[in-house]
Amino acid sequence: MNDFSDVVGRGLNEQDLRTVLLQVGRERYHNRHPYHRRMVEGAMSKTELQAWALNRYCYQAAIPRKDAIILSHAEDPAFRAAWRKRIEDHDGEDGRSGGIARWLHLATSLGLESEEVKSQRLALPATRFAVQAYVNFCASHTLLEAVASSLTELFSPDVIAERVPAMLARYDFVRADTLAYFDRRPDQAARDSDFALGYVLRYADTPERQQKVVDALVFKCDVLWAMLDALDYAYGHDGVIPPGCFRPETNG
Amino acid sequence: MNDFSDVVGRGLNEQDLRTVLLQVGRERYHNRHPYHRRMVEGAMSKTELQAWALNRYCYQAAIPRKDAIILSHAEDPAFRAAWRKRIEDHDGEDGRSGGIARWLHLATSLGLESEEVKSQRLALPATRFAVQAYVNFCASHTLLEAVASSLTELFSPDVIAERVPAMLARYDFVRADTLAYFDRRPDQAARDSDFALGYVLRYADTPERQQKVVDALVFKCDVLWAMLDALDYAYGHDGVIPPGCFRPETNG
């Protein structure tokens, strides 16, 4: 296991920096987490999937605010025009037809109440802390680091390609319609991460900046990983649900 | 289990508000957490105690910064003079003789390297997110809410009174000197929480403010609870240590 805290030396060329960033994902992206593994192996209770959907909603709901912070730090209209698409994708034309609405549909398809999910009040505190850490990171770091922290999207098409067919095959209460959120995400994520990676490789042009973009991606992997830690601790085998959080009425 | 989100009605008198705040602690303070229970039952490995000390250091180290934020929001010199004692307690006369230094001594007495602990780089991401959430809470909420969030200290003398003799009796590698941090804390916490409770009872003088101080204490209990969730998940039975975090060389 690399800790990636000192990988740049006297500086990397673009290709080597790209290789390091991909290596961060290979070692630290949350597709390696036990909670994800159990999800795709078909070993989860409906409660565990509900808890995942309910908590992950907090992340989805924060993403456009995070992207608005990035917009607010960007001087270049062309950059902003490209990055703005992310907000459009999540919020949709009218605020009710984008990615967040589709995630809400996923949650309600699993049997959760819409208002309960949207209120976020039954989410795990650790979820809220991790999501807020991500928003704060983008507010308190350079534009380059905020862009680099989005590069987990490089790895998301693969995880979606694994998750969707596995869930359809292994959980009889999951239908194609349940997972409609994921239909558009691979293309959107590929477009967005191509842009972000190009930006990072172009502007991370000193050893110090290169280390900072690697650190930013490690940080973001930590955010996603910590969210699954908390889910597994609360809802996994012999889980301990923190006070005040989502409790299943029945274990489906 | 109360969720405390609607406990104020048309307003409480001081005595009833005090009762509600104490009830929050009875239901949600981290002395009820399985990690704490195992600690005082003598059922922990040395690794688990080390991980607790290493992660809790991040919390200790942030407290004077949190208190400085509170000072910066206070208009009243008398309030500031009282609250300033907290910073003095944690930092000491010279920055090397206060509560943080004593916590570091606790960690090194358990076999950790001082620099490793101080760097915080092996702490769990969830610890960092929770601690930062607490600091941010005090920065982004009213002075009254920030003061109320400190009221977990009402409950800390009891948890110390349980923890110290249990650890001395049940872990042969724990000596009185190891736990010197806790010698002064009960008196300090009683003095500080008396002051904070008096302030809260005096200034939470509308139903809205009363609900906000209850919410603030619930939030703070969530912070402490989430820190133990993360420790238990990573270092408890069959724990899954997140990438890059503290790993024991030997299981003591």
Q: How many CB pairs under 8 A join A and B?
A: 98
Tell me the residue type at B245: C
Residue B206 covered by a domain:
yes
For the segment B190-206, the average pLDDT, to the nearest whole number, is 97
Closest partner CB to B126 (pick from A4, A126, A218): A126
User: DSSP H helical segments within A29-155, as ranges?
Assistant: 34-40, 46-73, 77-91, 99-109, 114-119, 125-140, 143-149
Residue A146 is part of a domain; what is its CATH number?
Answer: 1.20.910.10
In-domain check, residue A9: no
Q: Is residue B217 part of a domain?
A: yes
What confidence tens digit (pLDDT) does each residue in B83-101 have? 999 999 999 999 889 999 9
pLDDT in tens, A155-166: 999 999 999 999
**Checking phi first, is residue B11 left (phi over 0); if not, alpha (psi -120 to 50) or beta?**
left
**pLDDT tens string A68-126:** 999 999 999 999 999 999 999 999 999 889 999 999 999 999 999 999 999 999 999 99
Q: Does B2 fall in a domain?
A: no
User: Is the model's pLDDT at A66 over the cut of 60?
Assistant: yes
Mean pLDDT along residues A51-71: 97
**C-alpha span between A75 and A53 (Å, rounded):** 36
**DSSP 3-state assignment of A245?**
coil
Asked if the C-beta of A1 comes within 8 angstroms of chain B's C-beta atoms, the answer is yes
Structure confidence at residue B252 as a pLDDT band (50, 70, 90): very low
A243 in B contact zone (CB under 8 Å)? yes
| Per-residue pLDDT, A127 | 98
Task: Classify residue B183: in a domain, yes or no.
Answer: yes
> Would A32 be classed as within a structural domain?
yes
Provide the residue range defining the domain that includes B210: 14-235
pLDDT, residue A248, reads: 85
Q: How many percent of chain A have pLDDT more than 90?
A: 95
- pLDDT tier, B1 (very low <50, low <70, confident <90, very high otherwise): low
Put simply, the answer to whether A126 touches B124 (Cβ < 8 Å) is no
Residues of chain A contacting B136 with CB distance shorter than 8 Å: 132, 136
**Mean pLDDT throughout B98-118?**
97
Nearest-CA residue of chain A relative to B234? Answer: A229
Q: Average model confidence (pLDDT) for chain B?
A: 95
In a domain, A243, yes or no: no
Q: Give the DSSP H/E element, type plus range, for residue A197.
A: helix A181-203
ipTM for the whole complex: 0.88
In a domain, B248, yes or no: no
| Interface test with chain A among B3, B27, B129, by most A beta carbons within 10 Å | B129
Report pLDDT digits (tens) over B114-134. 999 999 999 999 999 999 999
Question: Cβ contact (<8 Å) for B244 and A129?
Answer: no
What is the model's pLDDT at position B251? 43
For B232-244, how does the pLDDT look when each residue is reduced to its tens digit (9 = 90+)?
999 998 999 999 9
Q: Enumerate residues 136 to 165 of chain A having a beta carbon within 8 A of any beta carbon in chain B.
A: 136
pLDDT band (50, 70, 90) for residue A1 = low
Give the separation between CA A107 and CA A60, rounded to whole angstroms: 12
Tell whether the model's pLDDT for residue A249 goes beyond 80.
Answer: no
Chain A residue with the nearest C-alpha to that of B27:
A243
Q: Please check the confidence at residue A55 and state whether its pLDDT lies above 90.
A: yes
- The count of structural domains within chain A is 1
Q: Is B202 on the interface with A (CB under 8 A)?
A: no
CB–CB contact B230 A230 (8 Å): yes
Determine whether the interchain pair A126/B128 forms a contact, defined as Cβ–Cβ distance below 8 Å.
Answer: no
Q: At residue B2, does pLDDT exceed 80? A: no
Judged by phi (left if over 0) then psi (alpha if -120 to 50, else beta), residue A141 lies in beta
Contacts of B141 in chain A (CB under 8 A): none
DSSP state of A13: -
d(CA B9, CA A200): 53
Q: How far is B29 from chain A (nearest CA, A)?
A: 10
Query: Is B124 in the A-facing interface, judged by CB distances under 8 Å?
Result: yes
Average pLDDT taken over every residue of chain A:
95
Q: What is the 3-state secondary structure (H, E, C) of chain B?
A: CCCCCCCCCCCCCHHHHHHHHHHHHHHHCHHHCHHHHHHHCCCCCHHHHHHHHHHHHHHHHHHHHHHHHHHHHCCCHHHHHHHHHHHHHHHCCCCCCCHHHHHHHHHHHCCCCHHHHHHCCCCCHHHHHHHHHHHHHHHHCCHHHHHHHHHHHHCHHHHHHHHHHHHHHHCCCCCHHHHCHHHHHHHHHHHHHHHHHHHHHHHCCCHHHHHHHHHHHHHHHHHHHHHHHHHHHHHCCCCCCCCCCCCCCCCC
Contact call for residues A57 and A103 (beta carbons, < 8 A)? yes
Q: What are A80's two structure tokens?
A: 């902003």
Q: Is B1 exposed, middle or buried (0-12, 13-18, 19+ CB in 10 A)?
A: exposed
